[in-house]
């Protein structure tokens, strides 16, 4: 059984994230979507952790992507374990006896992995996803439309521009 972690801020989730999740599910038995509470390389997320989790669930439901209940289930799982450093999430998985994992990163930040806190000590293989044009930052700036599944949530909570 092969497991990959797709970590990120997802502020907000985009169609590019959805495509990446679908692509990962074609190559791995289990895909764990791991929402960071705070990316140490970026400023504080514009949206709170629970609301970002909610928007991911809304989007995956809209896309008819079924979520599993456990990290060890085949398919796609959304973690509600907020972490700051990727190594903390890996240690969280290891505590649950999930030891053989890959970590998926976009091609735009693959070279930075070697600079992640204590990453080399973990010896986790990296799986590089080709970055698409969609961008969470463009959505936050109002330069790109959000995923249709989360438009109402964005309006209700007056998120982004």
Residue in the structure block whose two tokens are 């190559």:
27
Q: What's the pTM value of the predicted model, to 2 decimals?
A: 0.93
- Mean pLDDT lowest among 21-35, 66-80, 111-125: 111-125
Query: Edge-to-edge strand order for the sheet containing 75-83?
Result: 75-83, 30-36, 3-8, 101-106, 126-129
Beta carbons of 57 and 78 less than 8 angstroms apart: yes
Average pLDDT in the chain: 92
How confident is the model at residue 1, as a pLDDT? 59
Distance CA 144, CA 15 (A): 11
What is the per-residue pLDDT across 65-105, written as a single tens digit (0 to 9) for each?
999 989 988 999 999 999 999 999 999 999 999 989 999 99
């Amino acid at each position: 059984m092969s497991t990959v972690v797709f970590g990120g801020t997802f502020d907000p989730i985009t169609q590019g994230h959805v495509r990446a999740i679908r692509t990962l599910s074609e190559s791995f038995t289990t895909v764990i979507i791991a929402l960071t509470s705070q990316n140490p390389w970026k400023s504080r997320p514009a949206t709170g952790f629970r609301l970002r989790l909610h928007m991911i669930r809304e989007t995956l439901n809209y896309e008819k992507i079924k979520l599993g209940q456990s990290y060890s289930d085949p398919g796609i799982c959304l973690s509600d374990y907020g972490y700051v450093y990727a190594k903390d999430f890996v240690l969280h998985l290891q505590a649950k006896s999930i030891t053989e994992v890959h970590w998926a990163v976009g091609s735009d930040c693959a070279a930075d992995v070697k600079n992640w806190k204590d990453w080399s000590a973990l010896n986790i293989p990296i799986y590089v996803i080709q970055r698409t044009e969609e961008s969470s930052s463009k959505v936050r700036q109002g330069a790109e439309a959000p995923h249709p599944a989360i438009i109402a949530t964005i309006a209700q909570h007056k998120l982004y521009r």
